[in-house]
Amino acid sequence: MSICHKQILPIILMLCFGMVNFASAAVPEVPGAAQTKPIALVGGVIHTVSGKTIEQGTLLFIDGKIFEIGGDVNLPVEVEVIDVKGKHVYPGLIDANSNMGLVEINAVRATVDERETGSFNPNVKAQVAINPDSEIIPTTRSNGVLLCLTAPSGGVVSGQSAVIQLDGWTYEDLTIRSGAGLHINWPLMAAVSDWQLNADEKKTVKARDENMQRLEEFFETARRYDAARRNDPSTKIDVKWESMRDVLAGEIPVIASAEYANQIQAAVAFSVRQKVKLIISGGYDSIHCTDLLKQHDIPVILGGIYRLPRRDDDFYDLPYEIPAILKKAGVRFCIASDGRFGASMVRNLPFHAGTAHAYGLSMDEALRSVTLSTAEILGVADRVGSLEKGKDATLVITDGNILDIRTNVEAAFIQGRRVDLSDRHKKLYYKYEQRIDRAAAQDAK
């Protein structure tokens, strides 16, 4: 079918207006420019996390890396000195349980891109679907959270997550480690009978057995494929099975979403049989499996502190005490936000750690649980998580304790780039503040 010239103009206008609308939907905060000269933060309280806190210290970073840190640092010529006297300097906080950049508005299906169809998708890479213009990214970093693990969901094997930093033009700019973990939604191991779930015990037991059998067969098939590729490199490549090779080699851990003790025990037994690295995500019942977790050196990503007790006879404050119990038992762990509520709640990460401190975790350990411990578990501790010479200059400057809800983040740097801390929340605050001021001025007349 041909198009006459009278039809062309409306089409062009439609396309142009469509492009304008699309552009206007992008977040206005511009990614930070690369560091061009040395920057020194002088006179502040520097919380290194990995070592002692330095009072009235100096932190010098050059080309996006921490060059020197201490009480007395020789500064180079043409350095930009930032006076942070009376302020606190922390490494950027890290959340290990999010869908950052994959979901914008949970209730709007068109903005949800966190899952693929099918039950087994080990080849799914979360980072390629990230929206760098998400409005949730600026609101998150405004509260000191500068890095996240963003993960796919759905099915049995959801796909591979990535560790991202919250500033950049493209997903390549954001990603600092792809293949951070292969995510598995561990089946419920106990029989469940609940009218709300429309399930009876026989059906749930059958579903559990089928899922476990499929999971075992899936890994065995992956092993046969890996053996074939090693024996004959010319073997035809299958993307799904190729993505499993690093998992089987122990380079990518399995991150099993498991809350109940029988799920955790089953996941550990599976990891031992399959000889793969394991991380437990969720971990509500991890306090009942401490000996097992210590024996196999399996860390836990606690899926939030602000959650309800799971059993009628649990104390109301048990979820707040889990970090302190794990620390006392010697189990490696970190604190994450509650992934059930999506990326928009990641900004509350420091308050999860602050509450854990109020319920028995020391302040140093609470801070470590959202910085260095997270970086160690996710395999990025050589770059982020603490303030040390040679690491990325990914840090925040605050006017108080970063785990205190009253504290404000005054500045942030990601790999030495100054980050724009404006966001939609602040703009709306300023907008409606003017409304109140104008109304008050009108009443005064």
Quote the DSSP letter at residue 215: H
261 and 136 housed in the same domain: yes
Which tens digits make up the pLDDT trace of 123-175? 999 999 999 999 999 999 999 999 999 999 989 999 999 999 999 999 999 99
Residue 164, strand partner residues: 148, 175
Residues 163 and 138 in one domain: yes
Q: Are residue 29 and residue 98 in the same domain, yes or no?
A: no
Q: What is the pLDDT of residue 375?
A: 98
pLDDT value at residue 440: 84
User: How far is the C-alpha of 165 from the C-alpha of 137, rounded, in Å?
Assistant: 10
pLDDT of residue 191: 67
Strand ranges for 367-408 from DSSP E:
395-398
Torsion 149-155-156-158 (CA) sign:
negative
Say what the pLDDT of residue 3 is: 42
Query: Same domain for 274 and 423?
Result: no
Does 86 share its domain with 160?
Answer: no
pLDDT higher than threshold 50 for residue 19: no
Average of per-residue pLDDT across 400-429: 94
Place of tokens 């579903």: 207
What confidence score (pLDDT) does residue 29 get? 86
User: What pLDDT is stored for residue 1 in this prediction?
Assistant: 38
Q: What is the mean pLDDT of residues 239-252?
A: 96
Residues 360, 336 share a domain: yes
* 253, 298 contact by CB (below 8 A): no
Average pLDDT of span 21-48? 81
Do 47 and 177 sit in the same domain of this protein? no
Residues 6+ apart with CB under 8 A from 320: 305, 355, 356, 358, 359
Domain stop point among 338, 360, 384:
384
Q: Which residue would you say has higher pLDDT here, 290 or 233?
A: 290
pLDDT of 203 reads 77
Provide mean pLDDT across the span 176-194.
Answer: 85
pTM: 0.90
| Token representation of residue 425 | 């929340």
On average, the pLDDT of the chain sits at 90
pLDDT digit string, tens, across residues 293-303? 999 999 999 99
CATH of residue 406's domain is 2.30.40.10
Same domain, 97 and 179: yes
216 in the same domain as 125: yes
Looking at the structure, do residues 132 and 68 belong to the same domain, yes or no?
Answer: no
44-87: pLDDT as tens digits: 999 999 999 999 999 999 999 999 999 889 999 999 999 999 99
According to the model, what pLDDT value does residue 138 have? 94
Residues 380, 372: Cα–Cα separation, whole Å: 9
Give me the pLDDT at residue 10, please: 42
Q: How confident is the model at residue 236 (pLDDT cuts 50, 70, 90)?
A: very high
Residue 335: give its domain's CATH number: 3.20.20.140
Instruction: Answer whether residue 207 shows pLDDT above 90.
Output: no
Domain boundary among 340, 360, 384: 384
* AA letter at 268: V
Share of the chain above pLDDT 90, in %: 74
Cβ partners under 8 Å of residue 383, min gap 6: 176, 375, 391, 392
Structural contact between residues 298 and 278, judged by C-beta atoms closer than 8 angstroms: yes
Looking at the structure, tell me whether residues 290 and 376 fall in a common domain. Answer: yes
Cα angle, residue 409 at apex, residues 404 and 414 outer, rounded to 5°:
125
For 86-132, write each residue's pLDDT tens digit.
999 999 999 999 999 998 888 788 888 888 888 999 999 999 999 99
Predicted pLDDT at 113: 84
Q: What is the DSSP letter of 194?
A: B
| Number of domains composing the chain | 2
- Residue 445's pLDDT is what? 76
pLDDT digits (tens, 9 = 90+) for 269-289: 999 999 999 999 999 999 999
Nearest to 322 by CA among 347, 371, 355, 351: 355
Q: Which domain holds residue 339?
A: 93-384
What pLDDT does 15 receive?
41
pLDDT band, very low/low/confident/very high, at 196 (cuts 50, 70, 90): low
174 and 53 together in one domain: no
Residue 6 in this model has a pLDDT that exceeds 70: no
Find the helix or strand (DSSP H, E) in which 42 lies.
strand 39-46
- Last residue in a domain, options 384, 407, 435: 384
Question: Would you state the pLDDT for residue 192?
Answer: 61
